[in-house]
Copies of this chain bind each other. A is one copy, B any other.
Amino acid sequence: MKQTEYLPHIAYDSVIIGFTGDELKILIMEYHNTGLYALPGGFVKKNEDLNEAAKRGLEERTGLKNIFLEQFYTFGDTKRHQPEVLRTIIEANEKTPHESLQWLLDRFISVAYYALINYHDVVPKPDALSDSCTWYPLKKLPPLILDHADIVNRAIFALRENIDRKLVTVNLLPATFTMKELQHVYEAILDTNIRRTTFQRQMLASELLVRHDKRYSGKAHKAPYVYSFKAKKP
């Protein structure tokens, strides 16, 4: 991770969101021997598109390609420049010579993205400076460094705004799913209860779904149909 490879002062951070079936989770990194938690992020190579950089970092962390990834805000307040935090992370790092990481102490402006992925497809991988990359429930995040809590909040806000306009739920579900599973995604994102019959009526009227065979769960009740989205990921 040499400075000369990257544009100085520019970073990105990703809010990587998965859905377990009943709650949203977010990937959080923990840095070696510091107790400091942060969003996964990275830097932009000198000859690389900004959005490509974020996509590359996401692939490195999740192993997945073609993920739904959306830029939602750029954070550039001076108060996010806290070199002492980065110094702690650098000094706790044993693998890399500390001098080669001094550029991390500079002020950075961070372009933030949120990514939606299928929770069960992912085995998170830490990066060079961190020793874990773990799913945390959105409602039980550890304290995050710098302004990363703000970044998460704004990501969820952006996700809510896009829930109908951009078909974001496609990315959080397996290829086929029941109406109840779809409803649970909506409820987790919007953090509300939704009336079952109204939801079902609206989803069917939207013409976005294809109905397939029933799924027999072994439970003592009527088996639900499964559905898929007509338009796959953009």
Partner among B50, B51, B78 whose Cβ is within 8 Å of the Cβ of A47: B78
A77 at the interface (CB under 8 A from B): yes
A77 to chain B, nearest CB (A): 5
A107 touching B48, Cβ below 8 Å: no
Which residues of chain B have C-beta atoms less than 8 A from A78's C-beta?
47-49
**Which listed segment binds B: A6-14, A33-41, A194-202, A222-230?**
A6-14
Copies of chain A in the complex: 2
Number of interface residues of A (CB under 8 A): 23
List the 6 closest A-B pairs by CB distance, nearest first: A50-B76, A74-B74, A49-B77, A74-B111, A7-B9, A49-B78
Taking a contact as CB atoms under 8 Å apart, the answer to whether B71 and A73 are in contact is yes
Verify B109–A10 contact, CB threshold 8 A. yes
* A residues neighboring B (CB under 8 Å): 7-10, 44, 46-51, 71, 73-79, 107, 109, 111, 161
B-side contacts of A79, CB under 8 Å: 49
Closest to A46 in B: B107
**Distance, CA A78 to CA B7, complexed state (A):** 12
Q: How far in angstroms is the closest Cβ of chain B from A93?
A: 26
The closest CB in chain B to the CB of A49 belongs to B77
Q: A9: nearest residue on chain B (CB-CB)? A: B7
**21 A-B residue pairings within 8 Å (CB atoms):** A7-B9, A7-B109, A8-B8, A8-B9, A9-B10, A10-B10, A10-B76, A10-B109, A44-B109, A47-B78, A48-B78, A49-B78, A49-B79, A50-B74, A50-B76, A51-B77, A71-B73, A71-B74, A76-B111, A109-B111, A161-B161
Bound form: Cα–Cα A208–B232 in Å: 40
Q: How far is the CB of A160 from chain B (nearest CB, A)?
A: 11
Query: Which of A50, A71, A74, A75 counts the most B-chain CB atoms under 10 A from its CB?
Result: A74
Question: Are A76 and B47 CB-contacts (below 8 A) given A7-B9, A10-B9, A10-B109?
Answer: no
Residues of chain B lying within 8 A (CB to CB) of residue A8: 8-9
Complex contact A51–B76 (CB within 8 A): yes
CA distance A111 to B78 in the complex (A): 16
Residues of B within 8 A of A46 (CB): 107
Q: Which residues of B contact A109 (CB under 8 A)?
A: 7, 10, 44, 50, 111
